[in-house]
A and B are shown apart, each in its own frame.
Chain A
Amino acid sequence: AQSVTQLGSHVSVSEGALVLLRCNYSSSVPPYLFWYVQYPNQGLQLLLKYTSAATLVKGINGFEAEFKKSETSFHLTKPSAHMSDAAEYFCAVSDRTGNTGGFKTIFGAGTRLFVKA
């Protein structure tokens, strides 16, 4: 079964600083990988996804992530943090289940990003 590990439950950066949120996955097959963001009292929304095309994936709000097969990593970065980036970020992997043709998206534990003025 595939799994996702997010390193660091909390990350704090200053406004304008680099954001780096770490995600490692385990997978026996090429994975579909995602980053989602959750703002307070809201559902999750997609930031970006990797589906075996380009290894550097660009998402919304200036975020990007690089798929590195050799490191089984899919870290999320943003060159310059903004106050509005404060939220919880989830890395996820899509995993086929059984023979019914269904997929389940497995989420990491999440990383809460704090942005200091």
Chain B
Amino acid sequence: DSGVTQTPKHLITATGQRVTLRCSPRSGDLSVYWYQQSLDQGLQFLIQYYNGEERAKGNILERFSAQQFPDLHSELNLSSLELGDSALYFCASSVETGGRGELFFGEGSRLTVL
């Protein structure tokens, strides 16, 4: 158990819909990262937050947004969903933002868009 909690574990929805994925980091970790894992794209970095502020941005689509709340949990919002958004979405946390630290991953949220 990494200590990172992601909900929901599975989600099935239709094209055009909007979903919210939730992540609770390990106790004491201030950084939260979101990744998308798919068969064709591999593990893609989406975005990083540190103590409520956006710190790094990767290949995140404009239809996607994220935020980190004062209690440090984070949400990833995916809107106008397309078939290609079907993937496993991971949240990870770390105690620092300096790049040297280990990332602790949750078990992921599997999104299926029909």
Question: Are chains A and B native binding partners rather than an unrelated pairing?
Answer: yes
A contact residues vs B (CB 8 Å cutoff) = 32, 34, 36, 41-46, 49, 51, 90, 94-98, 100-110
Q: A43 and B106 in contact (CB under 8 A), knowing A104-B48, A110-B43?
A: yes
Contact B102 A46 (CB under 8 A): yes
Q: Across the A-B interface, how many residue pairs have beta carbons closer than 8 Å?
A: 73
Q: Closest B-chain residue to A6, C-beta based? A: B42
The yes or no answer to B28 lying at the interface (CB within 8 A) is no
Contact A49 B107 (CB under 8 A): no
Contact B42 A106 (CB under 8 A): no
Contact B99 A32 (CB under 8 A): yes
Contact residues, B55-75 vs A (CB, 8 A): 55-58
Q: B interface, by DSSP: helix, strand, loop or mixed?
A: strand
Contact B90 A103 (CB under 8 A): no
Q: Closest A-chain residue to B90, C-beta based? A: A43
Other than the given A44-B43, A103-B56, A110-B43, 5 more pairs (CB < 8 A) read A44-B105, A97-B57, A102-B48, A104-B45, A108-B42
Q: A41 and B107 in contact (CB under 8 A), knowing A90-B43, A102-B48?
A: yes
Contacts of A94 in B (CB 8 A): 99-100
Contact B4 A43 (CB under 8 A): yes
Q: Closest A-chain residue to B50, C-beta based? A: A102
The yes or no answer to B25 lying at the interface (CB within 8 A) is no
Complex Cα–Cα for A81 and B109 (A):
31
Complex Cα–Cα for A102 and B42 (A):
22
Q: Which of B43, B55, B106, B108 contacts A107 (CB 8 A)?
A: B43
Complex Cα–Cα for A112 and B57 (A):
28
Complex Cα–Cα for A32 and B101 (A):
9
Contact A102 B97 (CB under 8 A): yes
